[in-house]
């Protein structure tokens, strides 16, 4: 059942109010569509709904589907990487980690699983 626009707005406002009871932290948002990755963002917010809202409001969101997670402080990149749309290469530079898509992770896991099977 599709929500009416006015009901959706009420729901978002309710969620934003609830999230603002939480302490602010860094969020990682990743955007994609049928063609693949559209980029990612590190943004400070009180919750996922606020992170998505702020990214859109600040014109950082490239559109498409979004997924996200909070980032533990010990894994947060330097502030120079916050509040901007990052490419895959920039994300790797920001985190010092190799970056893989979900599809690539699945392929790596499958190769590892097959490598450990007895021949």
Q: What does the pLDDT look like over 47-91, one tens digit per residue?
A: 999 999 999 999 999 999 999 999 999 999 999 999 999 999 999
Measured at the CA of 30, the angle between CA 108 and CA 93, to 5 degrees, comes to: 70
Rounded to 5 degrees, φ, ψ at 70 are -75, 155
Say if pTM beats, i.e. exceeds, 0.95: no
Q: Using a CB cutoff of 8 Å and minimum separation of 24, what contacts does 88-97 make?
A: 88/37, 91/40, 94/42
Average pLDDT score over residue span 10-38: 93
Is 101's pLDDT higher than 90?
no
Say what the pLDDT of residue 27 is: 97
Query: What Rg value do the Cα atoms of the chain yield, rounded?
Result: 17
Write down the pLDDT at residue 36: 86
- For residue 74, the model assigns a pLDDT of 93
- Ordered by start, the domain boundaries in the chain are 20-116
């Amino acid at each position: 059942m599709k929500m009416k626009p006015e009901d959706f707005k009420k729901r978002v406002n309710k969620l934003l109010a609830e999230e603002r009871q939480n302490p602010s932290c860094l969020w990682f948002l990743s955007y994609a569509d049928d063609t693949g990755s559209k980029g990612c963002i590190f943004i400070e917010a009180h919750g996922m709904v606020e992170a998505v809202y702020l990214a859109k409001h600040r014109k950082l969101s490239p559109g498409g589907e979004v997924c996200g997670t909070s980032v533990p402080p010990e894994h947060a990149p330097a502030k120079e990487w916050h509040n901007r749309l990052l490419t895959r290469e920039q994300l790797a530079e920001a985190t010092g980690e190799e970056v893989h898509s979900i599809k690539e992770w699945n392929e790596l896991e499958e190769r590892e699983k097959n490598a450990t099977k007895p021949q």
